């Protein structure tokens, strides 16, 4: 196997380039001609670099008519290195429905890492329908949000969404992934 070895002046370290062991594994290293820089490795990424991306989606319909948070079916896991953060990007399709009375139908959605609540959307200002007309109402909504998790643990982390209705009266319900719309969660490992 051929190699090129560079030795630093005054007894410093060495740098060696080795050709792949197999002829079918040819590799090309292209150096940019616009500026000098530092070669990054997976063991020493620059702070803020995206190390990996994991994405998951679901089209399965899940309904909740209770005031208790329940899984929406949207979940993904990522294994991260020490000091990394996780940027979570979500698109959760939902529809909120109330029956024929004047009771409002609103819902809340929250993001969890394992069993830890990270963010609750609509916990005080709920997503949904307010008003006093005596007709059935339905709201269709793709809920988009992002969250930078700075408290993720080294190793595997699982993220998921849960949802509930704010009031279980008047046949209120929230339904996720209605009409085949795909809900998506994307996890990006960000170097610390």
Please state, in angstroms and as integers, the Cα–Cα distance from residue 7 to each residue in 1, 36, 133, 137, following that order.
19, 20, 82, 75
CATH architecture of 50-190: Sandwich (2.60)
Q: Are 93 and 177 in contact (CB under 8 A)?
A: yes
User: How would you write the pLDDT of the chain (192 residues) with one tens digit per residue?
Assistant: 578 888 888 777 888 888 777 777 777 777 777 777 776 666 677 889 899 999 999 999 999 888 899 999 999 999 999 999 999 999 998 888 776 666 667 788 899 999 999 988 766 555 665 555 555 666 777 889 999 999 999 999 999 999 988 777 766 788 888 767 899 999 999 998
CA distance linking residue 59 with residue 161, whole number of Å: 14
Confidence at residue 111, expressed as pLDDT on a 0 to 100 scale: 94
Q: Does the pTM exceed 0.85?
A: no
């Amino acid at each position: 196997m051929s190699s090129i070895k560079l030795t630093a002046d005054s007894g410093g370290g060495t740098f060696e380039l080795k050709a792949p062991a197999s002829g079918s594994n040819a590799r090309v290293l292209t150096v940019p001609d616009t500026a000098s820089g530092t070669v990054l490795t997976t063991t020493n990424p620059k702070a803020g670099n995206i190390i990996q991306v994991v994405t998951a989606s679901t089209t399965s319909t899940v309904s909740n008519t209770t005031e208790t948070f329940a899984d929406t079916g949207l979940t993904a896991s990522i294994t991260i290195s020490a000091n990394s953060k996780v940027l979570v990007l979500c698109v959760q399709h939902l529809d909120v429905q109330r029956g024929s009375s004047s009771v409002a139908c609103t819902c809340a959605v929250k993001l969890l890492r394992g069993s830890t609540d990270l963010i609750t959307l609509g916990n005080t200002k709920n997503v949904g329908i307010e008003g006093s007309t005596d007709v059935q109402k339905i709201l269709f909504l793709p809920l988009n949000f992002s969250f930078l998790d700075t408290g993720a643990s080294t190793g595997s982390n699982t993220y998921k969404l849960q949802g509930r209705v704010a009031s279980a009266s008047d046949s209120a319900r929230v339904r996720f992934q209605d009409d085949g719309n795909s809900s998506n969660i994307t996890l990006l490992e960000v170097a610390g």
